[in-house]
Structures are given as C-alpha cells and as structure tokens.
Structure 1
Amino acid sequence: MTPRLDHEQLLQVLAIEAGVLAGVASDAPSRARVPHCPGLTLGETVRHLGALYRASLSWITTGRKPVEWQREPGPDQSLLEFYRIGLRDVMTELAAHDPADPCASWSKDKTYGFWIRRLAHETTVHRIDVQGAAGLPIAAVDDDVALDGADEVLTEWFVSKLRVLGIRNTQDAVLTVRCEGVDGGWMVRAPRGVDTAAWWMPDLDHARESVNGTVVGRNPQALYLWLWGRKSPWGDPQPDGRRDLTFTGMDAVGQLWALLRLATR
C-alpha cells in the first residue's frame, strides 16, 4: 500500500508544524544561517513561507498560476505577522473545501488535497530548517509523515516538477529507494531525457527492472531529509558508527541527488 496519509491528518500536520516554526522563529535571530542550505537564513525562511502561503492561495482561488502576490511584509507589519496571516488565510481556504474538490496546481493532481499535502511538507521541512538555524535539537518527524513526504518528493517533485522545468537527464538510471524495517519502497527511473518516473512497490525484491543504484534510510526521517537535501549527500554518521543512509551504485545515486536538488530548489 502506498504510504500516504489522509488529508485530515496532513492538515493537522500543517497546523502543528507551522505553530512550532513560529514559536522558534519568535525567539531566534533572523540572520541565523540554515544548515545544508547555503545563503538561506532563518528570517528568509519565514519570509519565504509567508509569501508561499499567499502564492498557493492565489493558485487555488484564481484557478491559474499567480504572477503577482505579496512577497514581503507590509508597512508596520512584522515578519512573523506576515507569516501568520498568510498561514491563516490559506488554512481557512483549505479547511473550507473537500480535499477532492478541483482546483489549479502545477501537478497532475488538480485538487485541494494536493495543496494540503504540499504545504504540510513544505512547512515541516522549513520547521526543521528554522530549528537547525536556531541551534535547537531537531524535533522528530513521525514515521508516517516522513514516508508520505518521501513519496511526495519522488512522485511529485522528481517526476512532475522536472517535467515542468524541462530538465533532461544525462544518463539512464534505475534505482530503488527504501527504509530499513519498512515493507516496500520506490522504484525510481531517470532515463535520458525528461521522462522520469517513480512509483511505490510493496515488494522490491520482485522488481523486474535492472537496478543501477539503491538508497536505504535507517529510518523514514533520515530518508525524508536526504531527499529534501537537508543532509550530507552521503548521510550522517551515527553513534554506533554506521551512517543513517547507505548506498550502492554511486553514479546513479549521484544523478538522483543532483536531479532532486534541481527539482526542489
């Protein structure tokens, strides 16, 4: 079964993660640098989310890709107020509709559910950024949330976004992506050209594809953060001496990493 959360759960994730992020940002210096994201600061992360919430709301309510939206706090408006108002407005719109209701998006998924999922994970990843910038311990991401997020990165960003951007691969590669202790995983195909693909398989051992590389997370959060570029490309060492991700087929893994960085930038 594909590891997807229902939209009610994801709306709760969005609300909780957004609240944690705001609490951290209210007590931390805005110039603090975000780990693993050169040039990104805590304040810029908060501003980005405030603007993104508004751009997303424009997509939803106008039915087309936005051209203009508020990107900066207004006169006499604090950064956190800008963030909180944007969050409030988009959450009000999302909560007022059935997730299956149609609306515009950059994905093949043209529903309100797409935006609930998208903003839940965008906010979760940036909550991690803000905690890291503030020098705080990174609060854990629940396994089911992390697996849903891994699925979103691979089936939406790696597939849909790369096609929208028209980014072409340089060599053929097929990989498996999975977590220890989790039944199933993703087949990921990156052929020459733009026809990338990724899909969940309940039993990777019976995959008929010839695999050029593998990515294995010791836990769902490690995989989630790696896919979003919030880790070293080769994982991080753990107290027991092992890294939190292991790989085979470094050429294929390197191509996947590079394509993900282009897709999720």
Structure 2
Amino acid sequence: MTHDVRVPLSTARYLDCLAADFDRLRSVATAADPGAAVPTCPDWTVADLVRHVGQVYVDKTHAIREGAETEWPPKGTQDAEPFALLDRAYADLREELTTRDPGDPAGGWYAPDRTVGFWIRRMAQETVIHRIDAELAAGQQVAPVPEDLAIDGIDELLKVFTQYAVSEWPDYFTDTLAGSPGRTVEIRALGTKAAAWRISTGPARFTVEDGPGDTPADLTLSAPPSALLQDLWNRRTPGEATRVTVTGPEAATTELRACLTIATQ
C-alpha cells in the first residue's frame, strides 16, 4: 500500500466536485421538509442549512472581489428566501472562481494562503460536507465522497483547520490540550488512493505530518476515505454502525475529537 504525499487536486477537479455536490445538496434540500431538523447541526432546519450555505457563498464572493470577508451574516441575507439566496450566491461565486486565476489574491482567515485557489478548494470541501448534512436531514442515504476529494478534505481538516487554529489561537484549546500528556495519532485512509497522517499533540500543540510514523501510535483511526471524512467532520449517520476502526485509549480519542470540533466551529 502506497501512502502518497498530499498534493492539491486540480482546479478543474475542485470545480467539478463543487458543481456536483451543489446540485446534489440543492436537489435533496428541495425535496425535503424545510422544517426538518439537521441532526449534525443542532438547532438547524433544512431551511437554515440552505440559508447558511448561501451566506457562505456570498461571504467568499465578497472576499474574492473586495479582498476581505464581510460581517457575519452578510448584509441582506437574513431575510432572503433560502433557495433564491442559494441560487444567486452560487452563480456569483461560480463566476468568481471560474474567471479568475487561482493565484490571484483574495481575502481570508488563513494567512498562509490568501488566494482564489484557497477558496476554490475550501468551497468544494464546504459544499460536500453540507451536502451530507442535507442528506442526513432528509433521511436519504449519504452518497460516497470520491476518494480523491475525501483524502483532500481530511488533509484540509487536519492541517488548514486544526493545526493552524491551535498554532494561531491556542487559548481556544487550553481546556483540551493543557493537560495532554503528549500523544501520537495516526489517521489512515484505506482504499485505492491510500493516505496516512501522523499527528502529535501536547499542551498548545497539534502538528501534522504526511505518512505513517516509524513507531506505533497511541491512537489509530482507519477507514475508507469517504467514511473517514464523514466521521472526522462529525457527520456520522445516526443509528448506523461506524466504518471507522479505532485502536487506542478513549482519552486520546476524546482529545482528538475535541480539537477537531473546536477548530471547525
């Protein structure tokens, strides 16, 4: 089994995935009860989910056009009809993502990469996760995430969200990591496109390296890429047996999941 060093997907591939998951999200949400609860997003209904995705698209379009994200929620989005907002916002976002060079500057919270390319990747990953939310709210079977997109999404979650957040805003993680004895975690995506990550934790520390380590990890999580992405993003299907194999102490699992949750709130 070969564990590839992670490289971004092509711009065309991200845009194709974004389009496919947007279409799926919209189709599922349209057929669902707008008042149905979203089990993976407490206090949200399907209508709230649709509105949120539209608001995210508005915000990122502004980040690309103006070089800065807007106040949240973006002005004029709170009272808009959710699907009208979603369609308008997606059309505007799509225009920005397809008519600019990925290397063009854009505003954003992630200091290492303030480019249009960052938002191309981020919006593909944002949309697939919320597509899963829509499927779960509608009681539909979650469509598998393509292996390449799922592996990229795990990589983004671990590095862009969690590793970066712990390094930039350590105070948010004090309750979780201050008493950490220092642990190693191995994440293994098992499939045609296998991948692995090695995480090291400790007080104010969450670092990620590509590939498996040379020694056994304290905690190992392994599953096919799609199932692993869904699990790490806390999008597990209610009542369905997990496909993720966890080997290691419960305290290490709790620490890992707490870090991921804080980083993505």
Structure 2: runs of 5 or more not aligned: none
Q: Which residue of 2 aligns with 1:18?
A: 22
Report 1:119-138 matches (<5 A): 119-138=123-142
Contact 1:222–1:244 (Cα < 8 Å) also in 2: yes
Q: Which residue of 1 aligns with 2:203?
A: 192
Q: Which residue of 2 aligns with 1:214?
A: 220
Structure-2 separation of matches of 1:95 and 1:163: 32
Please tell me the root mean square deviation across aligned C-alpha atoms, in Å.
2.2
TM-score (norm 1): 0.87
Q: Residue 248 of structure 1: CA displacement?
A: 1.9
Contact 1:73–1:82 (Cα < 8 Å) also in 2: no
Q: Please, which of 233, 239, 246 is the counterpart of residue 228 of structure 1?
A: 233
Residues 167-214 of structure 1, C-alpha deviations (whole Å, 9 max, x = no match): 232312221101234544001122211x3221322xx2xx24663211
Structure-2 separation of matches of 1:2 and 1:98: 22
Q: Which residue of 1 aligns with 2:264?
A: 264
Q: Please, which of 86, 108, 112 is the counterpart of residue 89 of structure 2?
A: 86
Structure-2 separation of matches of 1:216 and 1:71: 43
Report 1:1-265 matches (<5 A): 1-2=5-6, 4-67=8-71, 69-70=74-75, 72=77, 74=79, 77-107=80-110, 108-166=112-170, 167-168=172-173, 169-170=177-178, 171=180, 172-181=182-191, 182-193=193-204, 195-201=205-211, 204=212, 207-208=213-214, 211-217=217-223, 219-231=224-236, 236-237=240-241, 243-250=242-249, 251-265=251-265
Contact 2:64–2:105 (Cα < 8 Å) also in 1: no
State the secondary structure of the residue aligned to 2:37.
coil
Residues 209-242 of structure 1, C-alpha deviations (whole Å, 9 max, x = no match): 663211111x111100011111279x952xxxxx
Structure-1 separation of matches of 2:87 and 2:164: 29
TM-score (norm 2): 0.87
Contact 1:10–1:116 (Cα < 8 Å) also in 2: yes
Flag the 1:87–1:27 CA change in 2: closer, same or farther, 3 A. same
Q: Residue 73 of structure 1: CA displacement?
A: 5.1
Residues 128-177 of structure 1, C-alpha deviations (whole Å, 9 max, x = no match): 11111111121221111111111111111111234444323231222110
